[in-house]
Structure 1
Amino acid sequence: MTATSSAKVSQPRLRADALRNRERIIAAAREVFVEHGADVPLDEIARRAGVGNATLYRHFADRGELIHHVALSVMDHIADQAEAARVEEPDAFEALRRFVHQAAGMGALCPLMSHTADKEHPELVAARHRLNCGIEALMRDARESGQLRTDIDVGDLMVAVTQLTRPLPGLGATPRGRGSECGVSCVDFDQFVHRHLQLFLDGLATPARSVLPGAAATMEDLRPTT
């Protein structure tokens, strides 16, 4: 028996109701973290998930463990979208376009990863690698089809999408939202996300309208130096 299979055997299998509760907690945590930040009280996450505090702590020992699993969930979901777009869309650039619009939740990754205690945890490393490979494949297909400019890399895409998709649902309507910061009475910034993602995508198409300063950004370039 391999180490991997023995590890799986040693992990108790959750009952169906316990698994549903765990998934509800992760989904609720992702929503609340996006809306209010990663320091939101765990009581609020339990309330949003419709479970008691004891149930939350039965599944996740502390905030760090919960953030870890929410980050994994977000990256796995986005990787699923990249792989599905590549398989299902016959046109390479349309596959990239579909992925970018579907992956608007990437904006949640930055605050989550900054609060993750062990960024080099094997599960997070594997999830990042899968996500990176999925996006690279989409961009490679679009580049080889002659539709995507050649002076950009995955890091450029990630920076733009994470910036354009923040704040995410709910944040724009709160006093802490960007509407109050920019001095305009924007009640729902979310309505502009896909419009500006489309503008960004148009800028990725060939022929390029200008020469970009600097070098193409890779995922490695986005890794913290400390």
Structure 2
Amino acid sequence: MTVTTAAPVRRADAARNRARIVAAAREVFVEHGGLASLDEIARRAGVGNATLYRNFADRRALIRQVSVAVMERIVAHAHAAVAEEPDSFAAFSRFVHAAAEERIGALCPLLSETIDPNEPELAEARAEMKQVTEDLIARAQADGLLRTDVGAGDVVVAMAQLTRPLPGFGCLDLDPHVRRHLQLLLDGLRAPAPSALPGRAATLEDLTPRA
């Protein structure tokens, strides 16, 4: 019996270690950027360096997995918001706050500078995140609760800017300010719109670099 159960136990332990490494890497990359110490990531994850390298051959592999994990979590937040909130704007608002908690503004430069966004796993995760974002916005606009002169690109740009660390502030805890400013953003997105926006609504395609 011991031989029969040993393999599943080892697999479960390995899965937990991998999840801890990814979670710790996300924190460290947000705080210190893409050149953050892998030793520090292993320490925060509570694993040895050998365990980290057994799961991720190099820094790029770890950054790639952090990217996929963050996008998958954002998609999960979107589905939970739609299922649990009383109306489409409440679902949209919950999604915006949850996505901001993932610190996409801090992670975006890291991802764009170190990995190819067109790698299949990343491209698939990004496409799914794009779809749920656009669906949330379209539902709220169709219900007359979200102003119609904004697009998914506008929302993503605003969230990225609000969650990007401020130059010169080091590790200052800006979380309370981010939440306040996100709420100001959401209040400005409610319909009816109090003013006309200059230009046109930005789509996610507008944010995609062109070759």
TM-score, normalised to structure 2's length?
Answer: 0.89
Quote the residue 2:33 is aligned against.
37
Alignment of 1:209-220 (within 5 A): 209-220=194-205
Q: What is the distance in 2 between the residues matched to 1:223 and 1:84?
A: 27
Letter in 1 for 2:17: N
CA shift, 1:87, in A, is 1.6
CA shift, 1:166, in A, is 2.2
Quote the residue 1:9 is aligned against.
none
Letter in 1 for 2:169: G
Quote the residue 2:173 is aligned against.
188
Quote the residue 2:65 is aligned against.
69
Q: Which runs of 5+ in 1 are unaligned?
A: 1-13, 180-186
CA shift, 1:215, in A, is 1.6
Quote the residue 2:6 is aligned against.
none
* 2:30/2:107 contact within 8 Å kept: no
Moved over 4 A (4+): none
Q: Residue 125 of structure 1: SS of its match in structure 2?
A: helix
Q: What is the distance in 1 between the residues matched to 2:73 and 2:187?
A: 25
Which moved further from structure 2: 43-52 or 61-70? 43-52
Give the superposed CA RMSD: 1.8
Identity of aligned residues (%): 60
Letter in 2 for 1:36: H
Q: Residue 63 of structure 2: SS of its match in structure 1?
A: helix
* 1:67/1:115 contact within 8 Å kept: no
Alignment of 1:15-54 (within 5 A): 15-54=11-50
CA shift, 1:119, in A, is 1.1
Q: What is the distance in 1 between the residues matched to 2:192 and 2:14?
A: 53
Quote the residue 1:183 is aligned against.
none
Quote the residue 1:134 is aligned against.
132
Q: What is the distance in 1 between the residues matched to 2:207 and 2:107?
A: 12
* 1:85/1:95 contact within 8 Å kept: yes
Equivalent residue in structure 1 for 2:159, among 158, 161, 165: 161
Task: Summarize deviations over 1:53-95 as a string: whole Å, max 9, x none.
Answer: 1111111010000000000000000111011101211211111
CA shift, 1:32, in A, is 0.2
Q: Which runs of 5+ in 2 are unaligned?
A: 1-9
Task: Summarize deviations over 1:93-124 as a string: whole Å, max 9, x none.
Answer: 11111111111122243123213422101111
Change (3 A) 1:136 1:28: same
Q: What is the distance in 2 between the residues matched to 1:217 and 1:19?
A: 39
TM-score, normalised to structure 1's length?
Answer: 0.83
* 1:95/1:138 contact within 8 Å kept: yes
Give the count of matched residue pairs: 200
Q: Residue 90 of structure 1: SS of its match in structure 2?
A: coil
Q: What is the distance in 1 between the residues matched to 2:23 and 2:126?
A: 19
* 1:64/1:115 contact within 8 Å kept: no
Letter in 1 for 2:61: E
Task: Summarize deviations over 1:167-197 as a string: whole Å, max 9, x none.
Answer: 2xxxx7xx94269xxxxxxx43221111110
